[in-house]
Structure 1
Amino acid sequence: MLFGLAPLDLASPTGDHGGSHQEQADELTARIEAAAAIDLTMVMILTTETNNLRLMDRRLGGAAIADKMRAQIAQLEGVHRHAIRPGIRAQLAHVLSETAALAGWQALDTCALSDAWDHHEHAISAAREAENPALLAYACGQQAYVLIDLGRPAEATELLQHVRTTYDRRVPGHLRTWLAAAEAEAAAILGDEATCRTALDQAAALLPGDDADPHVPYVSLNTHHLARWRGNCLVRFGDPDTIEDLRSALAGMDGTYNRAEAGLRCDLAHALLAMGELDAAQPHLYRADQLATTIGSRRHGRRIKELMRAATRGSR
Structure 2
Amino acid sequence: MASSRAVPNLAFRRLRGRRSPAEFAAAVRRAAREIGEQVACDARYIGRVESGEIRCPNYAYERVFLHMFPGLTLADLGFVAREHVRGRAARAAAAPAAPITIRNDEESDVLRRAFMTSGTATVAAASLGLGGVPAVGSVPAPRKGSTFGEAEVEAVEDAVRQIRLLDDRYGADGLYRRAAEPLRTAYTLLDTATPARQSTADRMQAGAGELALSVGWLAHDSGRPEDARSHYAEALATARVAGDQALEAHAFSNTSFLARDEGRYREAVRAAQAGQRAARRLSSPRLLSLLSLREAGAWAGLGDRAACEEALGRAHTLFGRGASDTDPEWMSFFGEPELEALEAQCWSALGDWSRAARHARRAAALQKPHFTRNLALYHAQLATDLAHADAVDEAAAAGHRALDLLGEVRSTRIRAMLTDTARLLTPRHSTPTVAAFLDRRAALGEA
Of the three residues 200, 207, 221, the one matched with 2:334 is: 221
**1:170 and 2:281 aligned:** yes
Name 2:167's counterpart in structure 1.
Answer: 57
**Structure 1 length as normaliser, TM-score?**
0.81
Q: Give the secondary-structure state (helix, strand or coil) at the position aligned to 2:370.
A: coil
The alignment's C-alpha RMSD in Å is: 2.6
Following the alignment from structure 1 to structure 2, what is the Cα–Cα distance between the partners of residues 110 and 100?
Answer: 15
Name 2:258's counterpart in structure 1.
Answer: 146
Q: Measure how far apart 1:289 and its partner are.
A: 4.0
Name 2:422's counterpart in structure 1.
Answer: 308
Following the alignment from structure 1 to structure 2, what is the Cα–Cα distance between the partners of residues 73 and 214?
Answer: 26
Q: Measure how far apart 1:63 and its partner are.
A: 2.9
Of the two structures, which has the highest relative contact order with CA contacts closer than 8 Å and spacing of 6 or more? 1
Q: Give the secondary-structure state (helix, strand or coil) at the position aligned to 1:170.
A: coil
Name 1:198's counterpart in structure 2.
Answer: 310
**1:232 and 2:328 aligned:** no
Q: Which moved more, 1:238-247 or 1:53-62?
A: 238-247
Of the three residues 359, 362, 366, the one matched with 1:248 is: 362
> Would you identify which runs of 4 or more consecutive aligned residues in structure 1 move more than 4 Å?
208-215
Q: Measure how far apart 1:290 and its partner are.
A: 4.8
**Structure 2 length as normaliser, TM-score?**
0.59
Following the alignment from structure 1 to structure 2, what is the Cα–Cα distance between the partners of residues 313 and 129?
Answer: 54
Q: Measure how far apart 1:68 and its partner are.
A: 4.0
**1:296 and 2:410 aligned:** yes
CA contact (8 A) 1:104 1:120 kept: yes
Cα 1:77/1:215, change in 2 over 3 Å = farther
Q: Which moved more, 1:116-125 or 1:71-80?
A: 71-80
Name 2:110's counterpart in structure 1.
Answer: none
Following the alignment from structure 1 to structure 2, what is the Cα–Cα distance between the partners of residues 240 and 209?
Answer: 28
Of the three residues 141, 144, 153, the one matched with 1:31 is: 144
Q: Measure how far apart 1:228 and its partner are.
A: 1.8
CA contact (8 A) 1:91 1:130 kept: no
For structure 1, the residue ranges without an aligned partner over 5 or more in a row are: 1-26
Name 1:4's counterpart in structure 2.
Answer: none
Following the alignment from structure 2 to structure 1, what is the Cα–Cα distance between the partners of residues 167 and 141?
Answer: 34
Report the AA paired with residue 157 of structure 1: V
**1:265 and 2:379 aligned:** yes
Of the three residues 273, 281, 297, the one matched with 2:395 is: 281
Q: Measure how far apart 1:292 and its partner are.
A: 4.9
CA contact (8 A) 1:93 1:129 kept: no
Q: Give the secondary-structure state (helix, strand or coil) at the position aligned to 1:46.
A: helix
CA deviations 1:259-301 (Å, max 9, x no partner) are 3223311221233223322111102123324545643322222
CA deviations 1:152-203 (Å, max 9, x no partner) are 2122123322332x32412322211110111111222222211111111111
Following the alignment from structure 1 to structure 2, what is the Cα–Cα distance between the partners of residues 169 and 190?
Answer: 25
CA contact (8 A) 1:235 1:270 kept: no
Q: Which moved more, 1:92-101 or 1:259-268?
A: 259-268
Count the aligned residue pairs.
Answer: 286
CA deviations 1:94-125 (Å, max 9, x no partner) are 00111100111111112211111111111111
Name 2:270's counterpart in structure 1.
Answer: 158
Larger gyration radius, structure 1 or structure 2: 1
- Percent identity, please: 23
CA contact (8 A) 2:354 2:386 kept: no
